[in-house]
Amino acid sequence: MALASRVYLDTNILISVFEGKDEMSVALRDLLVVENPLDKPLFVTSALTFAELLVIPIREKDEELVLSYRAWSMGTRHLEVVPVAGDVLFNAAACRARYASLKLPDAIHIATASGMKCSRMLTYDKRLVAYTPSFNPGLIGRSLPVIRIERPDMTVIDELKQLLS
C-alpha cells in the first residue's frame, strides 16, 4: 500500500476510539493522533458518522461525549470529515443498486470512502466484506478505487503506524 492512500473510518471504529477501554481501542486512539507526514489527513469519515455517533450520548444526556464528538465532527489535522453531498448520494444509490443487501448508511460510507480515494475501510461491521466500485456511471468523471474492507487488529494497526513513520 502506498503512503498516499487514505483510510476510511466507519462509525463503529470511532465509537471504539472515543468510548472503548480495551487494548484495541487504545491502539486505535494512538493511531488516530500519530503525526502525519501527508499534506492532508490520512483518515477520512463522513459527516453521517457523527449523526450516528451522537444518538446514544444525546439520549443518555452525556454532555461530555456530545461535546467531544461535536469537536471532532469539524475535522482535525488527523481526520477529514466529508459532507454528504450530491456525488456521494448518487454513488451510494448506485452502490445499493449493485449490492442490494447494503443499507443506505453503509452505502453512504462506502461511497464517501470511494470518492475520497481511500484504499481501506476500517470497520467492525461483519456484513461489509468486499466492495468493488465498478458501478461508476461515468457521470462524475473519475474512476473510483477498490476499497479493502478490514477489521482492526494489531497487524493492521502496526502496518498503518509504519506507513506514518
On whether residue 78 sits in a domain, the answer given is: yes
Distance CA 21, CA 38 (A): 29
Quick one: DSSP state of residue 60?
A: T
Residue 155 lies in a domain: yes
pLDDT exceeds cutoff 90 at 63: yes
The total of other beta-carbon atoms located within 10 Å of residue 31's CB is 21
Distances 27 to 56, 79, 160 between C-alpha atoms, Å? 24, 16, 11
Q: What is the pLDDT of residues 126-138, one digit of tens each?
A: 888 766 554 454 4
How high is the pLDDT of residue 130? 65
Query: CATH number, domain at 59?
Result: 3.40.50.1010
Question: Measured between alpha carbons, how far is 85 from 100 in angstroms, rounded to an integer?
Answer: 22
**What was the pLDDT predicted at 140?**
46
Confidence of residue 2 (pLDDT cuts 50, 70, 90): very low
Q: What is the pTM of this model?
A: 0.86
> Nearest to residue 122, comparing CAs of 156, 76, 71?
156
Q: Which domain holds residue 56?
A: 6-164
Q: How confident is the model at residue 143 (pLDDT cuts 50, 70, 90)?
A: low
Average pLDDT of 12-31? 94
Whether residue 77 lies inside any domain: the answer is yes
pLDDT in tens, 40-53: 788 999 999 999 99
CA distance 22 to 75: 25
Number of domains in the chain: 1
| 28 neighbors 13 (Cβ within 8 angstroms) | yes
In a domain? residue 127:
yes
Give dist(CA 10, CA 41) in Å, integer. Answer: 16
- Of 154, 164, 151, the closest CA to residue 77 belongs to 164
Within a domain: residue 91? yes
Is residue 51 in a domain?
yes
113 within domain boundaries: yes
- Indicate if the pLDDT at residue 10 is higher than 80: yes
Mean pLDDT throughout 16-33? 92
- Look at 62 and 6; give whichever has higher pLDDT: 62
In a domain, 1, yes or no: no
How many Å apart are CA 10 and CA 46, to the nearest integer?
8
